Each structure stands twice: as structure tokens, then as C-alpha cells.
Amino acid sequence: MKVVRTIARPLLASVFIASGLDVLANPEPRATVAKPVVDMVASVVPFAPRDPVDAVRLNAAVHLAAGVLLAAGVMSRVAALALAVSMLPTTVAGHPFWEVEDPVKRSQQRTQFLKNTAILGGLLAVALD
């Protein structure tokens, strides 16, 4: 199993490293989509960022840092847990298929939502392994 874990961790982490770098370079499009969730979280969590651009940058930094730790096998459980927690608002804000009226777009968003939940399952398996 050690060989499988050694291969699986970087495979799982790669999506977070790539997206973290992408969002840090260009946060504005994601900030627009994330604004409603950022506003909701900021109203409940006093120390949460209120600016959507800051929030998506923070999330991207968590994805990048925890992704690198997970890929390297350093503090893998903590890194996987951090990524799992960060996936929740990302998934809800980014893929609200239940709000989409167009059947084709709804299906695409549902697929992305379910992909994220599958990744979340993998992260929980690593975090609790």
C-alpha cells in the first residue's frame, strides 16, 4: 500500500497545485462567482475576508500550499483535511447546478459538482487513513 499512497498523493494534489497557481495569477473571475458565498461566510465568521478577491486568493494559497505538502507526503493528513475544508465553499460557490435553468448547463455544473465531491471523498480518505 505504501507504493500506492506514494503515487496517489501527488495525483490527488496536482489539481490543487495547478488551480492554486491559476487563481493566484488571475483571481477576478473566481471572485465574481464567489462573492455570494464570501458575503455569507464573512457575515458569520468574524475573521473571514470580506473582499471576494482576497478570499479567493486565500483559498488559492491554501490549495497551493496544502497541495504541495500532500504531494510531498509531508503532513499529508493535515494537508488533506485543509483541502477538504476548503473544497466545501469552493464547490457550493462554483457549481450551484440547482440554480441553473438550462438543462445542458445544469448537467455540466452537476458533473463538476460531483467531481468535486469525489475529490472530497479522496481527501477524506487520505485525512482519515
pLDDT digits (tens, 9 = 90+) for 94-124: 898 999 999 999 999 999 999 999 999 999 9
Could you give the CA distance from residue 129 to residue 107 in angstroms, rounded to a whole number? 33
48: phi then psi, degrees, rounded to nearest 5: -75, 145
pLDDT: is 93 or 18 the higher one?
18
For residues 47-65, average pLDDT: 95
- If one counts the domains in the chain, the total is 1
Could you give the CA distance from residue 71 to residue 10 in angstroms, rounded to a whole number? 4
Instruction: Please give the residue range of the domain that contains residue 69.
Output: 2-128
pLDDT digits (tens, 9 = 90+) for 11-30: 999 999 999 999 999 999 99
For residue 97, what are the CA distances in angstroms to 75, 77, 110? 34, 30, 5
For residues 123-129, average pLDDT: 93
- Please say if the pLDDT value at position 62 is more than 70: yes
pLDDT at site 1:
67
Candidates 95, 122, 128; CA nearest to 13 is 122
